Amino acid sequence: MAKATYMKLKGSQNLRLRLLLATLSATPVLIDDIRHDDTWPGLRPYEVSLLRLFEKICDDCVVEINETGTKLKYKPGIIMGGKNLVHDCGVGRSIGYFLEPLIVLGLFGKKPLSITLKGITNDSKDPSVDTFQSTTLSILKHFGVPSEGLKLTIRNRAPPPHGGGEVELKIPIVQNSLTAVTWIDEGMVKRIRGLTFTSRVSSQFEHTMRYAARGIFNRLLPDVHISTYHSKTGKSPGYGISVVAETTSGCFISADTAVSYGRGEESGEDKDEENNELMPPEEVGEQIASVLLGEIEQGGVVDSTHQGLLFLLCALCPQDVSKIRVGKLSPNGIETLRHIRDFLGVKFVIKPDPSTETVILKCVGCGLKNLSRKIS
């Protein structure tokens, strides 16, 4: 066996994206200086949990971490998929942090993936599980992912710091490769759907958030429906709302947030949230309505949180031209473009469209085929 040559990287930023691209492109990586100057040096518990998750769905992948956790060697294996898998995501980050890489990895597995994830479902940092259900999975369908077998079932919602939520994700495999897209028509918003949730607080909070959000949306369009969900098994008090706008051309633009007490010491972050009063539900509803309207105003076929995923799916397409329109490029989107260039060798042509203040991106995919699937 020839000795593997490792791609050398530094720092803790974009660790999840680097591991995902390393696995898809079968590139071994060596990451150095992971938070080496911090009071808490090295990998965080949620990053180690992510590595364990990659080990679960891949065969023959090798992870080596040094004693201080500041150096990581990762040699990717074959993506296997599998059914009835269970992973506890811990309480360092929400389930959304783990779902993003999973939905891409699952497509290129040997078998369809079916996995139950436990932990925090809604927080203010990562996209909530409701956003994944309404928006993220519909983006995959544009790229030729079969809709049967593509499902996210939310069994229970729970806010930080103690979690207690559970979701089941099912991802089918792509038979050969994804389909290149020309997706530049964002259409007009025709309806808005949403969901408010509460856990261990008065269910009156749900109605307050609903009325506040609808008070803004109903001035603009009549078709607004926001449902409610009261969690009985969440371990911490908290409440949140997620809203999604559907356009006439089948695009989904989403925004979500959750309010709860901070995680404090566990993840080595400051504890200032703990002492503050939580934002009142009325303000939460108004704020998220404004955020969604801001996303719609920016234009583009996806919202700013989904830009990275959209670019990645375009880069994984067959060697054919994909053309997409997004609003203002988000920092996450820009980092994704840089990493795609380094790992997959795919470069995007970025052209601003001054008439709509949006950006049109074109690329020729790297032609990633699902080589691990069984050939009957």
Element (H, E) at 238: strand 238-247
Closest CA to 216 of 288, 302, 298: 288
**Residue 171 and residue 102 in contact, taking contact as beta carbons nearer than 8 Å:** yes
Give residue-wise pLDDT tens across range 119-163: 999 999 999 999 999 999 999 999 999 999 999 999 999 999 998
**Residue 128 and residue 100 in contact, taking contact as beta carbons nearer than 8 Å:** no
Interval 224-230 mean pLDDT: 96
Residue 257 has pLDDT above 50, yes or no: yes
Interval 60-75 mean pLDDT: 95
Chain mean pLDDT for the chain: 92
Give the separation between CA 199 and CA 286, rounded to whole angstroms: 20
Within 10 A of 361 (CB to CB), how many other CB atoms are there?
Answer: 21
Provide the β-strand partners of residue 260: 238
Structure confidence at residue 2 (pLDDT): 56
What proportion of the chain, given as a percentage, has pLDDT over 70?
Answer: 94
Residue 236 has pLDDT above 60, yes or no: yes
Contacts of 358 (CB under 8 A, 6+ apart): 298, 299, 300, 325, 326, 327, 352
Report the predicted TM-score, pTM, of the whole model to 2 decimal places: 0.94
Interval 234-245 mean pLDDT: 94
Give residue-wise pLDDT tens across range 289-302: 999 999 999 999 99
Give the separation between CA 74 and CA 85, rounded to whole angstroms: 22
Structure confidence at residue 272 (pLDDT): 43
Give the separation between CA 40 and CA 38, rounded to whole angstroms: 5
